[in-house]
A and B are shown apart, each in its own frame.
Chain A
């Protein structure tokens, strides 16, 4: 049986070129199609990178039920990634599938917010990151149900049903651990403080966001802030946690400027497709 092509295969370059055959030129920046493609990769990349991060827990969670729950949340997010990146590839019209976009782009072409690439650290930190994301993700999908583009609205309606359960779970666990033992409380407060500077990026608009909002395709990022704030106030106070008062926000992920962690995520996530170009099963 012939072995799979790998990095030592002399025609790896030919394979890469063949994969690009028939491709149209990249979309021009500033056009609505390019804006839409970027907006869709932002949604898809958030789901993909967080899904990958959460999947890193598989087989390592503190108890079996939580291990299963984490894997299921990761699965939902990766399913949503297929829908968003699938549509992004369709909008781009260069024949790139969701898999191509997930496994064959490099860090600077990923446009997820920096929050989702933060390392897992402990279980409490992972759940705090999930809660801070879910509290944004749920109203985002709700707003996307009103998109002018029916394809976006139907993915959002589908994903929104799943994410409502993610938010209920992460909020419940943040409350249980925050208002738990002295140890769990201290860890959750620490997680909140560590993650806080990474939360603001989701609400900072760039020109692409503004044009997408103007076209009625996606909501303006800052429009989601009041709901996010209200959810945090409610859940964090019940969790007996103190919200940091800093407004500083790290930004750049949406424009492809990532933290050092991103390269490490990709080296594990994309290893197979890069070592064995064109591999399928």
Chain B
């Protein structure tokens, strides 16, 4: 008997992100659809960043999880549009990120190219990222890119902790 799609979603919510294991694939918002087409289960996945090396691992993890649960006929579909955005990260997951030491994305602050970035700097509205460890807003960006393309490197000027900020895209 085919498990219903709700059950499949529950299984997928138990698959951790390979880079940030405290959040699941469904927390991350990259599973776009789950549906049965005849006797084949089709899972639609959208990549976070086009070059993210975790994408291949994520597909393997999905396959393994579903096979363990007896699903033999499985198709993984890649969907690019609409492009993944950090707005799809569930709000509980943002708390999990913070507890894990990664500052979660601040909605509505995606880069729009140099002119917009410069306009923000000039108007003094540069992005403030609170330290996930001590909560201080006295933090500074060290680099636009952190340990993965989706993160930037920051340092707290109060507790001195270096940390990753999950950039908004």
In the complex, the answer to whether A83 meets B52 with C-beta atoms within 8 Å is no
Stretch in contact with the other chain, from B25-33, B64-72, B105-113: B105-113
Within 8 A of A (CB), among B17-58: 47, 49-53
Chain B residues whose CB sits within 8 angstroms of the CB of A189 once the complex forms = none
Task: State the CA gap A161–B47 with chains docked (Å).
Answer: 13
Task: State the CA gap A157–B52 with chains docked (Å).
Answer: 16
Task: State the CA gap A157–B51 with chains docked (Å).
Answer: 14
Task: Tell me if A165 is interfacial: C-beta within 8 Å of chain B.
Answer: yes
Within 8 A of A (CB), among B106-155: 110-115, 117-118, 142-149, 153
In the complex, the answer to whether A65 meets B118 with C-beta atoms within 8 Å is no
Candidate in A69, A73, A235 with the most chain B CB atoms within 10 angstroms: A69
Chain A residues whose CB sits within 8 angstroms of the CB of B117 once the complex forms = 168, 171-172
- Report the interface size for chain B: residues with CB under 8 A from the other chain: 31
Task: Tell me if B83 is interfacial: C-beta within 8 Å of chain A.
Answer: yes
Do A154 and B81 form a contact, CB below 8 Å, given A69-B143, A135-B114, A161-B110? Answer: yes
In the complex, the answer to whether B112 meets A73 with C-beta atoms within 8 Å is no
Do A158 and B51 form a contact, CB below 8 Å, given A75-B149, A135-B114, A167-B113? Answer: no
Task: Tell me if B167 is interfacial: C-beta within 8 Å of chain A.
Answer: yes
In the complex, the answer to whether B145 meets A164 with C-beta atoms within 8 Å is no
Pick from B50, B115, B153, B167: contact of A83, CB below 8 A.
B50
Pick from B51, B85, B147: contact of A80, CB below 8 A.
B51
Task: State the CA gap A222–B77 with chains docked (Å).
Answer: 37
In the complex, the answer to whether A234 meets B118 with C-beta atoms within 8 Å is yes
In the complex, the answer to whether A68 meets B83 with C-beta atoms within 8 Å is no
In the complex, the answer to whether A169 meets B144 with C-beta atoms within 8 Å is yes
Task: State the CA gap A238–B142 with chains docked (Å).
Answer: 21
Task: State the CA gap A82–B52 with chains docked (Å).
Answer: 11
- The smallest C-beta distance from B139 to any residue of chain A, in angstroms, reads 15
Task: Tell me if B8 is interfacial: C-beta within 8 Å of chain A.
Answer: no
- Report the interface size for chain A: residues with CB under 8 A from the other chain: 38
Task: Tell me if A132 is interfacial: C-beta within 8 Å of chain B.
Answer: no
Bitwise, A149-185 to B at CB < 8 A (1) or not (0) is: 0100111011101101101110110000000000000
Task: Tell me if A255 is interfacial: C-beta within 8 Å of chain B.
Answer: no
Task: Tell me if B169 is interfacial: C-beta within 8 Å of chain A.
Answer: yes
A150, closest chain B residue (CB): B81
Chain A residues whose CB sits within 8 angstroms of the CB of B149 once the complex forms = 72-73, 75-76, 162
Task: State the CA gap A192–B110 with chains docked (Å).
Answer: 29
Do A158 and B50 form a contact, CB below 8 Å, given A164-B110, A231-B115? Answer: yes
Pick from B51, B53, B111, B148: contact of A168, CB below 8 A.
B111
- The smallest C-beta distance from A261 to any residue of chain B, in angstroms, reads 23
In the complex, the answer to whether A157 meets B50 with C-beta atoms within 8 Å is no
B146, closest chain A residue (CB): A68
B50, closest chain A residue (CB): A79
Task: Tell me if A193 is interfacial: C-beta within 8 Å of chain B.
Answer: no
Task: Tell me if B90 is interfacial: C-beta within 8 Å of chain A.
Answer: no
B83, closest chain A residue (CB): A158
Pick from B47, B113, B147: contact of A68, CB below 8 A.
B147
A69, closest chain B residue (CB): B145
- The smallest C-beta distance from B106 to any residue of chain A, in angstroms, reads 15
B121, closest chain A residue (CB): A172
B143, closest chain A residue (CB): A65
By a beta-carbon cutoff of 8 Å, the part of chain B in contact with chain A is 47, 49-53, 80-85, 110-115, 117-118, 142-149, 153, 167, 169
Q: What are 17 A-B contacts with C-beta separation under 8 Å? A: A66-B143, A69-B143, A75-B52, A79-B49, A79-B52, A80-B51, A157-B82, A158-B80, A158-B81, A161-B169, A162-B50, A162-B51, A162-B169, A165-B167, A168-B117, A169-B143, A238-B118
Contacts A153-B81, A164-B110, A164-B113 supplied; 17 other A-B pairs, CB < 8 Å: A69-B144, A72-B148, A73-B149, A76-B51, A76-B149, A78-B51, A134-B114, A138-B113, A154-B83, A158-B81, A161-B169, A162-B51, A162-B169, A167-B113, A167-B114, A234-B114, A235-B114
Q: Please give me the 3 A-B residue pairs with the lowest Cβ-Cβ distance, nearest first.
A: A79-B51, A79-B50, A154-B81
